[in-house]
């Protein structure tokens, strides 16, 4: 047997990403996105609701070379947040510390490693859900999975309970093979299980009907026609992921300590949490949710949700 060939920089970088705690890693070239037209049509239909930042950043999202000029490739990563946790009134992703900070720090650490090990002058920028990037498109291009009918990126060995992030680099790296296949087949469990029937077609979601949107991004009162369907969902919704066969089979236990449920959430039921939230004033809210992704909804949004849930529980 001959000696194994030298390990490429791409292989080393992906191995370093896995060693840093990420669960998936792949490399994608930057450029025009494959979902640009469908994203434009989605915006034109008004399916983004009150998330006007999506419309304002549409031009940047259409081409991944635009948000940070000079970037050529991206290391795309996924970090699991534990799909085996029990259901509850708060979506699994939001029960622990803010995932943005956790992933930014690790991606910045990978950039430091790259500068030390291979490319001292390399420029890079970490993106985690806050920049004008269509992360799913980039992740599919990096070979991490396909788009499920519930619009989530699904990986054939991990399901979909994971966050996506990317480290943009001004290096030309050898990309991984894009994920070209789709493995949902004839299954429509996610579409049928949605409490508000938010999917207008397989792979197309009207956010204005989605419980996650209504309880997090939506700033107005929750429309009366959806309040009963919100049921006991205080923040977010995992229903379309819970019923997905790929998650039923492959979802993992929670392993990341940062994502363990905070004491403020714990295993409390919806009614107890809702009553606690209605007692919060602004200083208490800031203290309770410091370093949590749940600040996205603001105190007014959490208390609005609490009133809707309590009304549902009292029916």
List the catalytic residues: 129
Token pair in block for residue 161: 């309970």
**Angle at Cα 35 formed by Cα 186 and Cα 39, nearest 5°?**
100
Token pair in block for residue 146: 């396909």
Could you identify the residue written with the tokens 């622990």? 96
DSSP-assigned states of every residue in 174-228? PPPPP------TT--HHHHH-TT--EEETTEE-GGG-HHIIIII--SPPPHHHHH
Other residues' Cβ atoms within 10 Å of the Cβ of residue 254: 18
How many angstroms from the chain centroid is the CA of residue 238? 12
Q: What's the CA gap between 197 and 169, in Å, rounded?
A: 40
Q: What's the CA gap between 122 and 118, in Å, rounded?
A: 9
What SS3 state is found at 164? Answer: strand
Task: Give yes or no for a contact between 98 and 116, defined as CB atoms under 8 angstroms apart.
Answer: no
Token pair in block for residue 75: 């290391």
Token pair in block for residue 248: 């039923």
Other residues' Cβ atoms within 10 Å of the Cβ of residue 69: 7
Q: What's the CA gap between 168 and 148, in Å, rounded?
A: 25
């Amino acid at each position: 047997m001959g000696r194994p060939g030298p390990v490429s920089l791409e292989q080393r970088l992906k191995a370093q990403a896995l060693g840093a705690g990420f669960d998936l890693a792949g490399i994608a070239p930057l450029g025009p996105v494959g979902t640009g037209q469908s994203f434009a049509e989605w915006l034109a239909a008004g399916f983004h609701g009150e998330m006007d930042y999506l419309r304002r950043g549409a031009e940047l999202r259409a081409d991944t070379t635009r948000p940070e000029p000079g970037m050529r490739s991206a290391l795309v990563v996924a970090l699991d947040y534990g799909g085996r946790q029990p259901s509850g009134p708060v979506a699994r992703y939001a029960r622990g510390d803010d995932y943005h900070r956790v992933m930014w720090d690790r991606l910045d650490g990978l950039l430091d490693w790259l500068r030390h090990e291979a490319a001292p002058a390399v420029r890079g920028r970490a993106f985690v859900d806050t920049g004008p990037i269509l992360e799913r498109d980039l992740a599919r291009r990096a070979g991490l999975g396909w788009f499920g009918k519930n619009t989530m990126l699904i990986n054939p060995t991990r399901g979909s309970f994971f966050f996506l992030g990317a480290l943009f680099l001004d290096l030309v790296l050898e990309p991984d093979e894009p994920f070209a296949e789709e493995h949902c087949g004839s299954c429509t469990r996610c579409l049928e299980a949605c409490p508000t029937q938010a999917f207008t077609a397989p792979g197309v979601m009207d956010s204005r009907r989605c419980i996650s949107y209504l309880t997090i991004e939506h700033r107005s009162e929750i429309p009366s026609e959806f309040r009963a369907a919100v049921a006991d969902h205080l923040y977010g919704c995992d229903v379309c992921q819970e019923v997905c066969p790929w998650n039923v089979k492959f979802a993992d236990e929670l392993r990341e300590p940062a994502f363990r449920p905070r004491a403020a959430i714990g295993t409390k039921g919806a009614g107890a949490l809702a009553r606690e939230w209605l007692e919060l004033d602004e200083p208490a809210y800031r203290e309770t949710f410091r370093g949590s992704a749940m600040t996205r909804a603001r105190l007014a949004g959490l208390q609005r949700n609490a009133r809707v849930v309590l009304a549902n529980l009292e029916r």
